Structure 1
Amino acid sequence: MLVLLPPSETKADGGDGPPLDLDALSYPELGPTRRKVAEALTDLAADVPASLAALGISERQSDEVARNAVLWTSPTMPALRRYTGVLYDALDVKGFTRATLAKAQHRLAVASALFGIVSATDRIPAYRLSGGTTLPSLGTLRGVWKPALEPVLTGVEGLVVDLRSGSYSALAKTGPNSVTVRVVTEDEQGNRTTVSHFNKAYKGKLAAALVAARTEPSTVDKLVTVISKAGMTVERDGDRELVLLTG
């Protein structure tokens, strides 16, 4: 089982690892595309106004451009510690036991506009780049990533639990052995609405439950069983979607 997480706009500062080494990252077949995107991003960082426009951020966030400028020399840390925000707070990596962390190393991966996909323990620097970005020298990231990333994702063996958000799902499809998750809330009258504000938090809790599971589910039905045993209410909606009900 592979649980595919969305990244976060916010990243933790610093790190204690060596500078970025693309050859050391998981999924080495993505190396040439990673290098192309990374070089385009660092080249763009030399022009701050152009970077702000391309990244869709304001002058008050120019420190994000500075991060991109030193992408090749800044310190790194494991991906699960680099990404921050609501989902990663709910995942609570700091609270993992040694055994749970060992499971996370092969059960979790993070989608990335810069790297395509990284494993939980891949060491990466802080950066700013979103899935919907168009880089002036390359065009849309979907156009860049789809040819390289889609064969990787469709070739994953075993069940894929796809928790990516829209702009990252658009970068590449997953294979027929994947399932997406929709988070909804139900009122007293039984009316259901899609959760927006707490969507990331519940997906983080779901990912934590799947990492902690004693066995890896190999089918969607077994996945439903694992989630239910973790105390979460889940239903199937067709062959490739689950509905996670919140209180």
Structure 2
Amino acid sequence: MLICLPPSEGKTRATEGGPVDLATLTSPSLDSQRETVLDALARISARPDATEILKVGSSLADEVARNTTLRTAPAAPATEVYTGVLYAAAGLGTLDDDAARRAAADVLVFSGLWGVVAPHDRIPAYRLSMGVDLPGVGRLATAWRPHLAEALDARAAGDVVVDCRSAAYLAAWKPRTTGTDATDWVAVRVVREHAGRRTVVSHNAKHTRGVLTGHLLRRDGVPPSSAEELLDATRELDGTVIGTEVGTGLSYRMIEATLHAATTRTAARTLEIVIS
């Protein structure tokens, strides 16, 4: 099992501790590209038009300015830096020893700056989306693609990839679904059922993907290694209260999980989770 997560948009700054050491991050083959992106980001973040280039509002100017000191800024485990709905629901920072070891081996967070990091990797908070066209590097998803393929294709071969990423991060690496090193690639989709209709949700989808991630790491037994085993593991949450609606305070639960076929030979299958 390999769980692929997007980073959180908001990130929590460490206030103490040593700086990032690229040599300690997962997938060391990415270090050269990490250096390239890190240097380019520092240069761009010092420019007066940095917020425009990085596609963020002027209210985030201070966060962008901090990109110029990432090599010396305090670093913390990714589980403490990445915050937000998905990460709060997954509870990656509160896993027991067995689940934490599983997370270290089976979870990757995709990043416009680092390529990928594992939950225990120590990084500083930064501001950079994979959707940015970074001067000196180019479109980040395109720039990262060959490096991530080299680093991840072998890891994913013959396993199931549980894909919780958004489109920008999906563009940086797609598992191979054909050939001798094929992967059982499954994208997680969440819909809400109300009055007989099913609609795509946003906040609740992030939360539900986080709940699924936490469940897959904490559950007893062997981790899933195929889409069918992933479906069985997900159905263990049938009837479980997933979370609480923002605004109304009403709880919602998972009522169904189904596996849909891929639309093409190179696309992902879809694990659809229905909440109500």
Which TM bucket (shorter chain)? over 0.9
Report the RMSD for the aligned CA atoms in angstroms: 1.6
* Alignment partner, residue 237 of structure 1: 260
Equivalent-residue separation in structure 2 for 1:182 and 1:109 (angstroms): 18
* Alignment partner, residue 124 of structure 1: 123
Which letter does structure 2 place at the counterpart of 1:87? L
* 1:219 equivalenced with 2:200 (yes/no): no
* 1:159 equivalenced with 2:160 (yes/no): yes
Identity %: 38
* Alignment partner, residue 37 of structure 2: 37
| TM-score between both structures, scaled by the size of structure 1 | 0.93
**Pairing of 1:1-247 with structure 2 (within 5 A):** 1-47=1-47, 49-157=48-156, 158-176=159-177, 177=183, 178-189=185-196, 191-214=197-220, 215-231=222-238, 232=254, 233-239=256-262, 240-247=269-276
Which letter does structure 2 place at the counterpart of 1:237? H
What per-residue deviation string (whole Å, max 9, x for no partner) do you get for residues 73-108 of structure 1? Answer: 011111121101111111123442333223222121
Unmatched 5+ stretches in structure 1: none
What per-residue deviation string (whole Å, max 9, x for no partner) do you get for residues 26-71 of structure 1? Answer: 1111111111111100111221x22111112233211112220110
Compared CA separation, residues 71 and 129, structure 1 to 2 (3 A)? same
Compared CA separation, residues 97 and 194, structure 1 to 2 (3 A)? same
Equivalent-residue separation in structure 2 for 1:142 and 1:93 (angstroms): 26
Q: Is the 8 A contact 1:30 1:148 kept in 2?
A: yes
Tell me the matched-pair count.
Answer: 245
Q: Is the 8 A contact 1:155 1:175 kept in 2?
A: no
What per-residue deviation string (whole Å, max 9, x for no partner) do you get for residues 123-147 of structure 1? Answer: 1111000011011222211221112
Compared CA separation, residues 146 and 50, structure 1 to 2 (3 A)? same
Equivalent-residue separation in structure 1 for 2:80 and 2:202 (angstroms): 24
Compared CA separation, residues 51 and 44, structure 1 to 2 (3 A)? same
Q: Is the 8 A contact 1:108 1:211 kept in 2?
A: no
Unmatched 5+ stretches in structure 2: 178-182, 239-253, 263-268
Q: Is the 8 A contact 2:92 2:119 kept in 1?
A: no
Equivalent-residue separation in structure 2 for 1:94 and 1:170 (angstroms): 27
**Greater relative contact order, per chain length (Cα 8 Å cut-off, separation 6+):** 1
* Secondary structure of 1:174's aligned partner: coil
* Secondary structure of 2:148's aligned partner: helix
Compared CA separation, residues 100 and 16, structure 1 to 2 (3 A)? farther
* Secondary structure of 2:49's aligned partner: helix
| TM-score between both structures, scaled by the size of structure 2 | 0.84
Equivalent-residue separation in structure 1 for 2:70 and 2:134 (angstroms): 16
* Secondary structure of 2:203's aligned partner: coil
